[in-house]
Amino acid sequence: MRRIDVITLFPEWVESLKGLGVTGRAMAQGTISLHCWNPRDFTEDVHRSVDDRPYGGGPGMVMRPEPLARCIEAVLAEDIAAPVSFLGPQGRVLDHDGVSELAGRARLILLCGRYEGVDERVLQTLVDEEWSIGDYVLSGGEPAAAVVMDAVIRQQPGVLGHEESALRDSFVGGRLDCPHYTRPASWRSRDVPEVLLSGDHARIERWRLAEALHRTRQQRPDLLARYPVSEVERAAAKKLGSEKGA
């Protein structure tokens, strides 16, 4: 991933992400270039109108096809070809596999709708796919685009300080994350598990694997069905058990 184009009526909303955290740094460094496009810049009328009343009546407004289409075509005219992805509740629900798929692309074009949605003919003629971040309705696609961008950018090599931390994250290999601790070793009478202070990195790794497996079994048995316990996990849990007994 080296370029992300976001089509939005609120470019300042999206631009604000440039200054935040690891994803902000990646964009500030230019590892990822972020380009915002506003359909309002592609209107022809003096009022620069991007929405209009829905045919068939009903509440709210619909995004007009022409300015949106011109905007999308301007985006497509630049740089390499890429699918146009609409963020909407009817789309494929984003999960780790979806993030990996999007992260493998050289370019993302994210279309953010507002109001009641965009004219269906734009979706039929210019949009290639629809992604959803979950089964709920948002007032705009921008929050969903921000989620997609964050999840995808952190997968890029070199973006996170410690590459392996992106690998250990929850959901890699269908596992939730292990518990995390930092100083002080005893806090409000609660101690950090002694294994983490042992300096025995092999044992610490086994403990982390076993904890992640335990949590996944407790919180997300569906993930266990999809990603069965591996030999490494079984061995780690077994060895830990024997050590505990020791």
Ligand X SMILES: NC(=O)c1ccc(NC2CCCC2)nc1
Residues catalogued as catalytic: 89, 116, 154, 169
Which of 12, 44, 55, 136 is in the footprint of ligand X by CB under 6 A?
A: 136
81-97 burial, b for 16+ CB within 10 Å, e for fewer? ebebbbbbbebeebebe
Q: Work out whether 89 is an interface residue with ligand X (CB under 6 A).
A: yes
173 counts as binding ligand X under rule CB under 6 A? no
Chosen residue from 11, 67, 98, 113 binding ligand X by CB under 6 A: 113
Residue type for 170, please? S
Residue 39 found at the interface with ligand X (CB under 6 A): no
User: What sign does the dihedral 58-69-141-137 (CA atoms) show?
Assistant: positive
Q: Which candidate, 152, 138, 52, 139, places its Cα nearest to that of 110? A: 152
Interface with ligand X includes 62 (CB under 6 A)? Answer: no
Least Å from the CB of residue 87 to ligand X? 4
Interface size with ligand X, residues (CB under 6 A): 15
**Two tokens, residue 121:** 């003919």
58 touching ligand X, by CB under 6 A: no
Q: By CB under 6 A, tell whether 64 contacts ligand X.
A: no
Contacts of 104 (CB under 8 A, 6+ apart): 1
Kindly give the pairing relationship between strand 129-132 and strand 84-93. Answer: parallel
The residue range among 10-18, 50-58, 132-140, 160-168 that interacts with ligand X, by the rule CB under 6 A, is 132-140
Give the binding site for ligand X (CB under 6 A). 87-89, 113-114, 117, 132-134, 136-138, 140-141, 144
